[in-house]
Amino acid sequence: MSKVNVKNGTPVGSEHLCKRCSWGQFVTGYRESDLLVICMRPDLSFRVPFPVYECNEFSDRYKPTWEEMKKFAIEVEPLRVSAKTKGFATVTTIEPVRVDGDEDEDEAARRDDA
């Protein structure tokens, strides 16, 4: 017999999403049924009578804050291995290149001026 997968069906397990949420408060007794879950959101506090599967106000308590991530971050600066790349050179001065046809025109212009 094969296992059948159903999309958007009933979730398996009864783990509270509130256990990982920073707004959740848990009180547990000795029996499995002795469990009190309170959502401590700032706008409204209420008792949660069932295991929560999905919540739009979920805030993971184990996820670091932005300040904590900046505190533990390693700053990496770019490192240049070599100053020059072999086979390539940079041009420092630019000089015009004379073409054979240009020399004849320049000489003719000089003769006309003289």
Two structure tokens written together for 104: 């004849």
pLDDT at 59: 86
- Checking DSSP bridges between strand 24-28 and strand 45-48, what pairing results, if any? unpaired
Average pLDDT over residues 1-16: 70
Q: What is the pLDDT of residues 89-102, one digit of tens each?
A: 666 677 777 776 65
10 Å Cβ neighbour count for 24? 21
pLDDT band at 67 (very low <50, low <70, confident <90, very high): very high
Is residue 18 classed exposed, middle or buried when 0-12, 13-18 and 19+ CB atoms within 10 A define those classes?
buried
pTM for the full model? 0.45
pLDDT band at 47 (very low <50, low <70, confident <90, very high): confident
